[in-house]
Amino acid sequence: MSEKKTKNIKEEQFPQEPSRRSFLNKLWIGLGIFALLEFSLLVIAYLRPSKTGVKSGDHETIIEAGLVAKFPLNSVTAFIRGKFYLCRLEDGGFLAVSRKCTHLGCTVPWLDKEKRFACPCHASAFDIKGELIHPPAPRPLDLYRLFIENNMVKVDTGKRIKRSGFRADQVVYAKKVQT
């Protein structure tokens, strides 16, 4: 018979099992696995956190911190609503640093007497630029995009920017008024 010539290797190992049955069995199993995968993807898609609907740049995420002149040099002001600190450096430049410690996520307070952020959870410490001065945090504090419009300091809290180190171009300066 011609079927015998087209036997595949599996048939030789299991001479009792007709090839049609084993093929259909494998087909069922394959379809079953496929269905399971599909179901898992469905469940994961359902459970996935939805986008909050607020994109970076929306007017809701941009916080008006205040006029440039309001912030003294070498100062740190906390903004609870935006969950960030506004740091004004010695040279007048601005940085908006996140209040979340980069170690495990505790909220880092600014200690004005010691002029540093000191995390109460595991004693990580950061300086006024958010740079790491004491482990175990692995990297400096994250930044939020800061820009100055009409002398008003604005911070976009929609997107947190991770950084591996401090760079001078992260600081934002108010434009000098031409006299």
Partner 1 sequence: MGKGRNGILRGGKDPERYRRYLNTFILHFRPRNVPDRTLRFTLTWGLGGMAVLLILMLFGTGVLLKFAYHPFPDRAYESILHLQYDIQFGQLIRNIHHWSANILLVVVFLHFLRVFFTGAFHPPRQFNWIIGLCLFLTVLLSNFTGYLLPWDQLSFWAITICTGMFDYIPGAGLWLQKMIRGGPEVGPYTLTNFYAIHTIILPAVIITFMPFHFWRVRKAGGLVIPRTPEETNETRGEMVPSIPNLIVREIAMALILIAFILVLSAFFNPPLEGKANPGLSPNPTKAPWYFLGFQEILLHFSPLIALFFIPVLMIIALVSIPYISYPSSTAGVWFASSKGRRMAIDATVAALIATPIGILVDEYVVNFAVWMPSLSPVISQGLIPLGIVLAGFYGFYLLLKRRYHASKNETVQVAFCFFLTAFIILTIAGIWFRGAGMRLAWP
> What does the binding site for partner 1 look like in residue numbers (CB under 8 A)?
44, 47-49, 52, 80, 83, 99, 101, 103-109, 119-123, 135-136, 138, 160
CB of 57 to partner 1, least distance (A): 17
Q: How many CB atoms lie within 10 A of CB 48?
A: 8
**CB 124, min distance to partner 1, A:** 9
Please, what is the Cα angle at 152 between 149 and 157, to 5 degrees? 85
Nearer to partner 1, 6 or 52 (CB): 52
Which lies closer to partner 1 via its Cβ, residue 15 or residue 53? 53
Q: Which is nearer to partner 1, 13 or 164 (CB)?
A: 164
Residue 84 makes CB contacts below 8 A (sequence gap 6+) with 96, 97, 98, 99, 144, 155, 157
Rounded least distance, CB 106 to partner 1, Å: 4
Closest separation in Å from C-beta 129 to partner 1: 21
Q: Which is nearer to partner 1, 57 or 138 (CB)?
A: 138
